[in-house]
Structure 1
Amino acid sequence: MVRCHGADPQGLSRHRARGFGPAGGFPINKLFLFVFSLFFLSGAASAAALRVTGLQLGLNAGLTRLVVEADGPLNGSLSAAADGLGLVLTLSQARWDAAVPSSRAAGLVAGLGLPVDSAGQVSLGIDLVEPAVVERAFRLPPQGTVGDRLVIDLRPADPQAWQAAFAAPVSLPLAGSADILPPPPVSPGRLRLVVLDPGHGGQDPGAISAAGRYEKDVTLAIARAVATRLRQTHRYRVLMTREADRFIRLGDRVALARRHEADLFLSIHADSLAADRATRGASVYVRADDASDTDAEALALRENRADQLAEGAPARDVNEVVAILLDLASRDTGRLSSRFAGLLTASLGHRLTLRHNALRAANFKVLSAPDIPSALLELGYLSNPADEALLFSDAGRAELAEGVVAAIDRFFGVDDR
């Protein structure tokens, strides 16, 4: 820990040895006033700085929460670390007056660096497990023996969203989310429309488990559970792209959501690895021309091939897909999709097992609506016995539904701090 204390007392002897005493050209009374003024200014600066008295790291509803306590309301910023592997928290007009933070990990944070006092501000390195952005940052007033607090909530993000969010330092606290515009408001009396898209169906079974159970069945069952839970809140209308075991082309799923002017589109899938029964865990995807990794790219290719099962597909469908891809000029929609995907990843990670780097990106046709925030949820691996048991159980479906609804609520601002 490095502190700046103003004038160095040893500096006086060095000055005298070089002639800054009675034998030199600098009168002793002026030297006294000079040194006194340095200490006075240093003391004034220290008095003006807020004392940071505590720091806590933990989880809040799946989001990674950092709470900084001080003897007054703090301002600061978050910026990308020079090595691109973390963040730097800078607290302005502050000085560190607390114990050294614990190095334990929590959520998206792998560890905290040592606080550094310099030039009237405190800097603290934050090592990340995976890319993360600020979902929100707000102040809480003193309460009892607890002082003012700056609360910072981090959520997962794909690498592109991380780079965009920290292209410049993010000022704290925030009025809203750091890297996106909020969802547009709805007219009075109108409920937001959520479109749920159970993957596969009909002649397309999707992935098949070791026990011979089909992806198309589990996606429909979980979509129904989510729809029921959403309707119970009385905050949403719900539309499902299929209510039964029937095949629907990918372009038709997107077109349905656009025709009804959906506020959110969630496609629900599961995966399977024939030669691998160990890999398990849920993951969430957003659309990107370039996949985040080879696994994501391979998954998108498998899911996009579903349309090949349709016989006699009219040429206009191809034209519609091309038009949609060319129409992907809405940057706000992409940012909203990334935000929802991050909230969904955080919410599910609070409840069940996730894959490493669970938030990914690939070129999914079903996520191609240019005007609807969209994400694809991979529930887990039917080739893994634990995932299969979870997904085909009533308790597992209920837990998944709660996690999805919690993320949708937070995305649309139905949120308690």
Structure 2
Amino acid sequence: MLRFAGPYPQGLSCRDAAMARGIFIKLLFLLVFIVTTGLGLASPARAEPLRLTHLQLGLNAGLTRLVIEASAPPQAELAASADGLGLLLTLPATRWAAPPPDVTAGGLVAALGLPVAAPDGTLNIAIELIEPAVVERAFHLAPQGRRGHRLVIDLRPADPNAFAAAYADPVHLPLDTAVDIAPPPVGAAGERRRLIVLDPGHGGQDPGAITASGRYEKEITLNVARAVAQKLRATGRYRVLLTRESDKFIRLNERVGMARAREADLFLSIHADSLSGDRATRGASVYTRAEAASDTEAESLALRENRADQLADGLPVAEMDDVVSILLDLASRDTVRLSSRFAGLLTASMGETTPLRRNALRAANFRVLSAPDVPSALLELGYLSNPADEALLFSEAGRDRLAGAVVGAIDRFFGVEAR
């Protein structure tokens, strides 16, 4: 320290002494500042709670995907619920910063609870499961476009013992290191787009149902399939194949074979029904394949549709070959579950656009839905025997609305925003 003897420090000129005194005063003020505020510099300021802005549920490659979007990379814990029938997702130092989420249940998730804030600042989300599920993978995605930081959690089915073992202690998420490279935009070069096979029912010498005015089911099924294909392609998210592009007869096994050979992600057969002597019944319905029909009407419809091949040459319908029968016996539970999942979404989406038949979600032994490795459903657009349904189906505006409902269901099935 400088020692002062007299008005100026010893050995310094007046100018040098004045400069030294100025430096000393500045250092003194700096020391006071560090003492009073330095603790704040040494340790970070109290962090602002992470803001949770979006929740989304979808399906991805047979897994149920939950996407949590937030203002920073979310961390979370996943534990079994108190009743052991579901999961509890806990996010530390997090607050919900958006309107209540409107999340459609699907996949392994029967219901997603509203985010609930706890006194300690954590945010809890209850997940009700259809069956036991464990985490297959969990990772971060960096912001992309208008999307913020995301925690992606993929769930897969598990048996009760595996479920109990997995959540013996809370699972800390993410499991993997952060993924800083965002996925390519939808439709970008190199990205695999989903292949949707649309199957317009009937064709050629098989007209299908016939209206009172003499119009054919094969016309409406092809027109609606074309409208759906146009809307799907316009999204840039899908590749689309029609089993027939014109008034052509295609055998049922050939329709199924097109989807299987190209490893389609979804097969949708499009039809319109008719009831002889009944002009009152109307409404859409959706079918999945099952050995035992859900009701006598479904069984009767399947028998009629399965006889379509006889119109080609008058010969009885051939039995499915042994290989296909074996594959059907070995059909994965995922394919059956995904078919049912899509059928439910399609029924709901159609119900927003057109009247539905009572018990609109049905099942029967349709040969055209026999692919063991492609999720499949059959859509009956309505009844051509009903004047109101006939007017809807043969109008351009009506077809456009129906096609929009189909595309909406396909989007929700693949969870196109859950990425």
TM-score range, shorter chain: 0.5 to 0.7
Residue equivalent to 1:113: none
C-alpha displacement of 1:76: 7.0
Separation (CA, whole Å) in 1 of partners of 2:113 and 2:155 = 11
Separation (CA, whole Å) in 2 of partners of 1:255 and 1:358 = 27
CA offset digits 1:101-148 (Å, max 9, x no partner): xxxxxxxxxxxxxxxxxxxxxxxxxxxxxxx99555254366xxxx97
Distance 1:260 1:208, change over 3 A: same
Q: Are 1:253 and 2:255 matched, yes or no?
A: yes
Q: Which moved more, 1:358-367 or 1:187-196?
A: 187-196
Question: 133, 137, 146: which one pairs with 2:112?
Answer: 137
Q: Are 1:194 and 2:196 matched, yes or no?
A: yes
C-alpha displacement of 1:323: 2.8
Distance 1:75 1:274, change over 3 A: same
What fraction of aligned residue pairs are identical, expressed as a percent? Answer: 63
SS at match of 1:248: coil
Separation (CA, whole Å) in 2 of partners of 1:227 and 1:74 = 43
C-alpha displacement of 1:149: 8.4
Where do residues 17-416 of structure 1 align in structure 2 (5 Å cutoff)?
134-140=109-115, 189-311=191-313, 318-320=319-321, 322-328=322-328, 329=330, 330-415=332-417
C-alpha displacement of 1:74: 12
Distance 1:166 1:276, change over 3 A: same
CA offset digits 1:11-63 (Å, max 9, x no partner): xxxxxxxxxxxxxxxxxxxxxxxxxxxxxxxxxxxxxxxxxxxxxxxxxxxxx
Separation (CA, whole Å) in 1 of partners of 2:403 and 2:108 = 25
Counterpart residue type for residue 325 of structure 1: S
CA offset digits 1:162-183 (Å, max 9, x no partner): xxx867899xxx9668989xxx
C-alpha displacement of 1:90: 12
CA offset digits 1:308-352 (Å, max 9, x no partner): 11217799x6443x4323312222111110111111111111222
Residue equivalent to 1:128: none
Residue 80 of structure 2 contacts residue 87 of structure 2 at CA under 8 Å; is this kept in 1?
A: no
Counterpart residue type for residue 411 of structure 1: F
Separation (CA, whole Å) in 2 of partners of 1:301 and 1:193 = 29
CA offset digits 1:220-274 (Å, max 9, x no partner): 0000000000000000000000000011100010011111111100000000011
Residue 292 of structure 1 contacts residue 360 of structure 1 at CA under 8 Å; is this kept in 2?
A: yes
Decide which structure has the larger Cα Rg and report it.
2
Separation (CA, whole Å) in 1 of partners of 2:370 and 2:250 = 16
Unpaired runs of 5+ in structure 2? 1-78, 89-106, 135-151, 159-186
Separation (CA, whole Å) in 2 of partners of 1:391 and 1:239 = 22
Separation (CA, whole Å) in 2 of partners of 1:414 and 1:77 = 32
Aligned residues: 274
CA RMSD of aligned residues (A): 3.7
* Runs of 4+ with >2 A deviation: 73-79, 132-136, 138-142, 147-153, 165-170, 174-180, 312-315, 317-320
SS at match of 2:255: helix
Unpaired runs of 5+ in structure 1? 1-72, 80-88, 92-131, 154-164, 181-185
Counterpart residue type for residue 327 of structure 1: L
SS at match of 1:335: helix
C-alpha displacement of 1:286: 0.4
CA offset digits 1:284-317 (Å, max 9, x no partner): 00000000111110110011010111217799x6
Residue 288 of structure 2 contacts residue 339 of structure 2 at CA under 8 Å; is this kept in 1?
A: yes
Residue 179 of structure 1 contacts residue 335 of structure 1 at CA under 8 Å; is this kept in 2?
A: no
Counterpart residue type for residue 345 of structure 1: T
Separation (CA, whole Å) in 1 of partners of 2:111 and 2:154 = 6
Residue 198 of structure 2 contacts residue 268 of structure 2 at CA under 8 Å; is this kept in 1?
A: yes
Separation (CA, whole Å) in 1 of partners of 2:353 and 2:157 = 26
Residue 108 of structure 2 contacts residue 133 of structure 2 at CA under 8 Å; is this kept in 1?
A: no
Residue 282 of structure 1 contacts residue 355 of structure 1 at CA under 8 Å; is this kept in 2?
A: yes
Separation (CA, whole Å) in 2 of partners of 1:369 and 1:74 = 36
Separation (CA, whole Å) in 2 of partners of 1:217 and 1:179 = 42
Residue 199 of structure 1 contacts residue 269 of structure 1 at CA under 8 Å; is this kept in 2?
A: yes
TM-score by length of 2: 0.58
C-alpha displacement of 1:415: 4.0
Separation (CA, whole Å) in 1 of partners of 2:127 and 2:220 = 37
Separation (CA, whole Å) in 1 of partners of 2:123 and 2:408 = 28
